[in-house]
Structure 1
Amino acid sequence: MSRSSRAVLVVTALLSAATIAAVHVQQRRERERLHSGVLRDLERQSQKRENIRLLEEQIALTKRLTEERDKMLVEKGSQQP
């Protein structure tokens, strides 16, 4: 083999190896990005469940407070002559 053909072979092999490595790196990044998306979705769902629980708790507290206030108003009204 001549010197120039060896150089072309080496350069071609290096470029092929670099291309393969770049594709693998790109695939790994894409997989990590997709996985982080799943984690974000799970976190969002968890936060949504927590928000709903807090809202239901707040509704129950508001209802109880309203009932107690109404009860106190009725008792106050019945105490007056």
Structure 2
Amino acid sequence: MSWSSRLALAASALLSAATVVAVHIQQRRELERLRSGVLRDLERQNQKKENIRLLEEQIALTKQFVEERDQALMEKGSQQS
């Protein structure tokens, strides 16, 4: 086998190995990106549930405040009469 054919074979083998390694690295990065996307979605869902819970709590507190204010105003009005 001539020197140039050996060099061509070595270059071809090296290029093939580099391609295989690059594809594996790319697949790992893609898999990690997909996993992180799922984790972000779960975090968003948890944050949304927490926001809804806080909103419901705020609505209940507002209703309680309005009822207490109205009751205090009615009592104040009846005392003035």
**What is the TM-score with the length of structure 1 in the denominator?**
0.96
Quick one: percent identity of the two aligned structures?
A: 75
Q: Distance between the aligned counterparts of 2:58 and 2:64, measured in 1?
A: 10
Counterpart Cα distance in 1 of 2:4 and 2:70: 97
Which runs of 5 or more structure 1 residues have no equivalent in the other structure?
Answer: none
Shift of 1:2: 1.3
| Deviation >4 Å, runs of 4+ | none
Q: Aligned pair count? A: 81
Task: Tell me the equivalent position of 2:53.
Answer: 53
Stretches of structure 2 lacking an aligned partner (at least 5 in a row): none
| CA RMSD, 1 decimal | 0.7
Give 2:23's aligned amino acid. V
User: Corresponding residue for 1:39?
Assistant: 39
